[in-house]
Amino acid sequence: MTGEGTVQVKVGIVRGGTVGLTAGSALLAAVLSGCTESSTAQDGGEPSRPAKSAASAATAAGGGTVGAAGSACELPVSFDVAEHWKAKGVDAGAELSKASKGADGSLTGDLADALLRQGPVTAACEIDAKPAGNIGFLRVWTGKPGDTDARTVLREFVAAEDNAGEAEYHSFRTASGVPGVEVEYLYTSKLLDETKKETALAVSTPDGPVVLHLGGMDTEEHEQMRPAWELAKRTLRVR
């Protein structure tokens, strides 16, 4: 994971660090103990919230679309990317294969698995905010087809991130009518003794669940990137 400032790690996985998902040779690993996870949301029954209007994302001018065939990341969904943000596909299968064979410069097997998988989903795309002047990523994770609903997938995603807590879930619907579930939560780095806000959402598709996650170096950086997040959420479509 590249470009998110100071290195924050959990069980060998960089959280908001300076190492890209596929840049295994430069990865710093550390083991953090303890996990706090709580949720203030109620299961089921929440009224759906409409996606925010175009005006709320006005500061995030569109810079293209990812997800479609031929784009930087081919995904089960497509959405608009903020201007100057740079998308790059993540071939998790290839990275895991290299790691299992101990290829030079690759991650170790356990570390690669921790870095490229989170709960029921696998890394598929990272969209770097650095060219737009921010330190952070919008990352996309995909899962296998099945009967698991988006809320469950999102809960499992958050639960797999050590030291995540105060999670608040709500339903939403994109401008094109795609239903999804969004969560805002706090991630605490035991190494740096810092807490920051993170946001994620999940939608179901015929090809499996898709999770979008927005991190950032700290909460201030996260909030500065929120217009780009709202743009992606509002324009998200199932392909």
Identify the CA nearest to 155 among candidates 142, 168, 173: 168
In tens, the pLDDT along 19-43 reads 455 443 233 232 222 222 333 333 3
Q: What is the pLDDT of residues 44-102, one digit of tens each?
A: 334 343 343 333 334 566 779 999 999 999 999 999 999 999 999 998 877 777 766 66
* pTM (2 d.p.): 0.74
Q: So what's the pLDDT on residue 50?
A: 38
Q: Pinpoint the alpha helices (H) of 54-209.
A: 92-100, 109-116, 150-159
Q: Look at the block and give the residue holding tokens 């946001």.
A: 199
Does residue 230 register a pLDDT over 90? yes
Closest CA to 159 of 118, 123, 189: 118
Q: Whole-angstrom Cα distance, residue 185 to residue 202?
A: 14
Q: Which amino acid is at 66?
A: V
Burial letters 116-148, b for 16+ CB under 10 A, else e: bbbbbbbbbbbbbbeebebbbbbbbbbbeeeeb
Domains and CATH numbers, the chain: 35-238 (3.40.1000.10)
83 Cβ neighbours under 8 A, 6+ residues apart: 60, 61, 62, 63, 132
pLDDT tens string 139-167: 999 999 998 899 999 999 999 988 889 99
